[in-house]
Structure 1
Amino acid sequence: MKKLFKIILKIIPRPLLIRLSYIARPVLAFFLKGDKFIDPIDGKRFKAFLPYGYGNQRDNVLSPSTLSLERHRLLWLYLKNETNFFSKNLKILHFAPEQAFYKRFKNMRNLDYVTTDLNSPLADVKADICNLPFKNNEFDVILCNHVLEHIPDDTKAMQELYRVLKVGGMGVFQIPQDLNRAITFEDDSITDKKARAKIFGQYDHVRVYGLDYFDKLRSIGFKVEVVDYTSTLSDEKITQYCLAKGEIIPVVYK
């Protein structure tokens, strides 16, 4: 099953995968049911998670039930245990909404939940992150995860995120990041998809962020917290939830 899943990931476009996954999830969850690993988002247990990745695939990272990855499960634990996201009345803007969160957040009565993206079939508002159709200071929380690495003008995108976030509001802007790299690398001359995948990690990424990502957010005006939430968890829990030890959650405030 894992080998077949790897092949499917490589040949089926992502928007179609999203639609097909609603059919596949119950089947995958049934065949992989077990006790070794737990998805903290829905509490279900499995003998193994699925592989995932474009190019170099990671084993045992994709939950069969919620289709969450390491970063989704880590963010869920952080929001649930360390914030008022699940209890306070909040207006949320969610970019490129992940399936693991979409229906859960949409059904939460305390959230006024707005989703946006140019291409996702789950987006309520089709919009360019560099030219958002929202008022200044409109949202209490912005979730913009694994989006900025796709955006050529990420400075303009960050400025728009800052503009529509309320004063005192919170954002989570996760990105694929090389924590051993001090300076972000980007090169607009690299346009070949295979070359981009090799250098940037995925064919539609335009940069590899380094540690200066946090300084760039600060230059826009955000207060930035570099949260290593896995450092608060035991090794047993990290393994059980299939998390990436040391993965950073960039939390910002206006």
Structure 2
Amino acid sequence: MKKLFKLVLNFIPRPLLIRLSYVVRPVMALFLKGSKFTDPIDGKSFKTFLPYGYGKQRNNVLSPSTLSLERHRLLWLYLKNETDFFQPELVSGSISNVDKRIILRDAETSSALKVLHFAPEQAFFNRFKKMDNLDYVTTDLNSPLADVKADICNLPFNDNEFDVILCNHVLEHIPNDKKAMSELFRVMKPNGMGIFQVPQDLNRETTFEDDSITDKKERAKIFGQYDHVRVYGRDYFNKLQAIGFKVEEVDYTSKLSDEEIKKFCLAKGEIIPVVYKN
């Protein structure tokens, strides 16, 4: 199965994969139904998750029902438990005195939380789209799930337009990531929040990139995936700060028990880069 999944990932274009998954996903979810592992996004449990990876495959990481990976499930838990992203009520202040959640909405307005989601993941797309408390906009150059086809380095949005920006595993694909980060900063509202996850080697001090590497096999070997252009190190946080963001390196798995980490198939110690525009 691992070889088949690797072949599919590397040779079928991503937009086509997304369309095919709607047919395959229900079958896989039924076949793997069990009780050992649980996807917190939809609450369904399975005897095992699926393998995933363009190069070296990781076992037991891809949810059969939502197609979420470790990072998606971690982000879901963080948004649900640490922010008011899923809450329709408007609460004043930056932190609620009741539950200490990060408050993203302004109590003085009745408008929904305006969210911009780059390269929307299937695990989130339909769920976020149906939430009445969100004004949800998706964007990407190629994804069939994108409302707005746009280049992240030249966004067709106004300054200070979005309360929340989700841009996860996108920047490692962008040659001019500094320009992309600047655009993210421009369209975020003052006091807005973003989550910009990337594949990151926390043992590497500085980011590695080499524009001369254009061969897909060589890129996959060096950068981890054929369409990646860099490997981010710990200086990723400094890059975001240099643009103007306030950055928090959130290790949300430290708040979870080992049993929860195992049950939800999370990557212990994975950092969520949470950014703010003051």
2:189 paired with 1:144 = no
Residue pairs, 1:3-18, within 5 angstroms: 4-18=4-18
Letter in 2 for 1:76: W
SS class of match (1:104): helix
Which residue matches 1:217? 240
Tell me the distance in 2 between the aligned counterparts of 1:2 and 1:131: 38
Deviations 1:199-234 (A, max 9, x none): 000011010000000011001000000000001101
Residue pairs, 1:1-254, within 5 angstroms: 4-88=4-88, 89-254=112-277
Q: CA deviation at 1:9?
A: 2.7
Letter in 1 for 2:58: R
Gapped runs of 5+ residues in structure 2? 89-111
Letter in 2 for 1:69: L
Identity %: 81
SS class of match (2:73): helix
Q: CA deviation at 1:3?
A: 5.1
Q: CA deviation at 1:13?
A: 1.8
Alignment RMSD: 1.0
Tell me the distance in 1 between the aligned counterparts of 2:230 and 2:46: 35
Provide closer, same or farther for how the CA distance between residues 150 and 3 of structure 1 changes in structure 2, counting only shifts above 3 A: closer
Letter in 2 for 1:241: F
Tell me the distance in 2 between the aligned counterparts of 1:203 and 1:59: 20
SS class of match (2:8): helix
- Could you tell me the TM-score, scaled by structure 2's length? 0.90
Deviations 1:15-56 (A, max 9, x none): 111000001111000000000000000000000000111011
Letter in 1 for 2:214: T
Greater than 6 Å deviation, 4+ residue runs: none
Tell me the distance in 2 between the aligned counterparts of 1:5 and 1:126: 28
Letter in 1 for 2:74: L
Gapped runs of 5+ residues in structure 1? none
Letter in 1 for 2:207: T
Tell me the distance in 2 between the aligned counterparts of 1:189 and 1:160: 26
Letter in 2 for 1:166: K
- Could you tell me the TM-score, scaled by structure 1's length? 0.98
SS class of match (1:102): helix
Tell me the distance in 1 between the aligned counterparts of 2:126 and 2:271: 25
Tell me the distance in 1 between the aligned counterparts of 2:223 and 2:115: 30
Letter in 2 for 1:75: L
Letter in 2 for 1:58: R
Report how many aligned residue pairs link the two structures: 254
Provide closer, same or farther for how the CA distance between residues 202 and 4 of structure 1 changes in structure 2, counting only shifts above 3 A: closer
Letter in 2 for 1:119: N
